[in-house]
Amino acid sequence: MNKTNNHVPALITIFGATGDLSHRKLFPSLFHLYQQDNLDERVAIIGIGRRELTNDDFRAQVKSSIQEHVQDTKHLDKFMQHVFYQPHDVSDEASYQKLLELSESLDREFSLEGNRVFYLAMAPRFFGVVTDFLKSSGLTKTKGFKRLVIEKPFGSDLKSAEELNEQIRRSFKEEEIFRIDHYLGKDMVQNIEVLRFSNAMFEPLWNNKYISNIQVTSSEVLGVEDRGGYYETSGALKDMVQNHMLQMVALLAMEPPISLNSDDIRAEKVKVLKSLHVLQPDEVRNQFVRGQYDKGFINGQEVKAYREEDKVAADSTTPTFVSGKVEIDNFRWAGVPFYIRTGKRMKRKSIQVVVEFKEVPMNLYYQKDKHLDSNLLVINIQPNEGVSIHLNGKKYVQGIETEPVQLSYAMSAQDKMNTVDAYENLLFDVLKGDATNFTHWEELKSTWKFVDSIQEAWDHFEPEFPNYESGTNGPLDSDLLLSRDGFKWWNDIQ
Ligand code: BG6
């Protein structure tokens, strides 16, 4: 990772440290930062969990998860000397007193200058309780900085998000709250802004005069796995659309910021999210499609229907797929549909943006047996990472027949080896205090308002689920959504 060496001493306290996220993402990312010399020797990490573990028990667990996720484990033992554990009951005052004592002693031992990061990798129902106790126990009263990092979901609708926000704001200011959306840590998502604003050739065309539609897809092959309990309360709309999908739309649609300062970038994102066209119930019926996977085949293996998954109701109406037409009511984008699509148990894992340009005003050329293709700009976010431009060129035969030509830039194998996990980027930003790639409360307000309008309309009628087979591109209605407008999903494009 090519980060500027910007060492910040800090105590990082992770609530939910024995959970899956901590083991799969947080500790491997922290270790990698340390290994790359992007984490200071003046760092201490306290893992907090309910279980009674000793430091040694916990270190052994963390060590084995790091070994599982990171290839090169040089300096692992040295890193482990920075890791501590404290058994903790989140609703018990005394636990916070013990945490305060441990924090103060580590602060002295590692010269942490009172800088404290509290990472809540736990169920959101505990967020408010924990932040209240952090304040009342004196843990947030520190001479250094205090920062709160929280995972989604942030509420389950606008009202609950507002309540939660009020609660955590009792202990932390907005600029001290880092709300994670891990898509914003992905290198190619961050690249959207760079491509748009550092190249003269895109920006003049980036509007309703030249773009016919933009497609944003995040499809997964995996099903709900062991998260049925959580997913039943969320579904694809709240799990993916409210955050990741709309964040990508915001980056594609925002105006150029006046500087790369976090406040300036976020101000532009807020502006565009405020222009999302909030849907009336009949618009939801015409513009949004929900789906749920049935059984089917993935890589030749038969897989279960969603309703047969663990902790999922046999008559569940939770959507595992959503596609829809998002409209942005502003001068630049009026009339350009942003089609978004996300689902589980689909044909392939792909996060991709396709920008489709309008046809030339008078087309004199043709492609054999076919309408001339539109120009496309394809941004591959995952698993392929790169950009391609699809053009029309002359076919090498007599006459003026054309053929599609593709210019592509793919991240090299060498670059790929150095690609870091989104969490590593984000943890580094938290330590630096750079909030650019985190979700501001104003962004959340607009995205919840938009998502609530869809959910409310859906609550009024029962879907006919399941409606797509596992291993496919989702329900037929999703294809009709585009074909009605004269477009198609660019499914197999790279
Ligand atoms: C998470 C969702 O935020 O994103 C998961 O809760 C989903 O349901 C995941 O699987 C997808 O992330 P990625 O990075 O694999 O596209």
* pLDDT, tens only, 136-188: 999 999 999 999 999 989 999 999 999 999 999 999 999 999 999 999 999 99
Can you give the pLDDT at residue 462?
94
Can you give the pLDDT at residue 235?
97
If one residue of 24, 180, 182 were mutated to test the ligand 1 pocket, choosing by the most ligand atoms within 8 A of its CB, it would be 182
Helix H or strand E encompassing 402: strand 401-410
Task: Specify whether 390 is catalytic.
Answer: no
Q: Domain 10-151 falls in which CATH fold?
A: Rossmann fold (3.40.50)
pTM, whole model, 2 decimals? 0.95
237: which strand partners?
Answer: none
Ligand 1 within 6 A of CB of 181: no
If one residue of 190, 239, 247, 349 were mutated to test the ligand 1 pocket, choosing by the most ligand atoms within 8 A of its CB, it would be 239
Ligand 1 within 6 A of CB of 239: yes
**In angstroms, what is the C-alpha Rg of the chain?**
24
Confirm whether residue 77 is marked as ligand binding: no
| Catalytic position from the list 244, 277, 390, 460 | 244
| Confidence category of residue 412, pLDDT binned at 50, 70, 90 | low
Per-residue CA distances from 324 to 163, 167, 215, 245, 287 (Å)? 28, 33, 10, 11, 5
Can you give the pLDDT at residue 367?
78
How much is the average pLDDT of 275-280? 97
| Confidence category of residue 406, pLDDT binned at 50, 70, 90 | very high
Burial class for 383, CB neighbours closer than 10 Å (0-12, 13-18, 19+): exposed
In this predicted structure, the answer to whether residue 418 has a pLDDT above a threshold of 70 is no
Ligand 1 within 6 A of CB of 351: yes
Domain ranges of the chain: 10-151, 184-421+440-484
Q: Domain 184-421+440-484 falls in which CATH fold?
A: Dihydrodipicolinate Reductase; domain 2 (3.30.360)
In this predicted structure, the answer to whether residue 366 has a pLDDT above a threshold of 90 is no
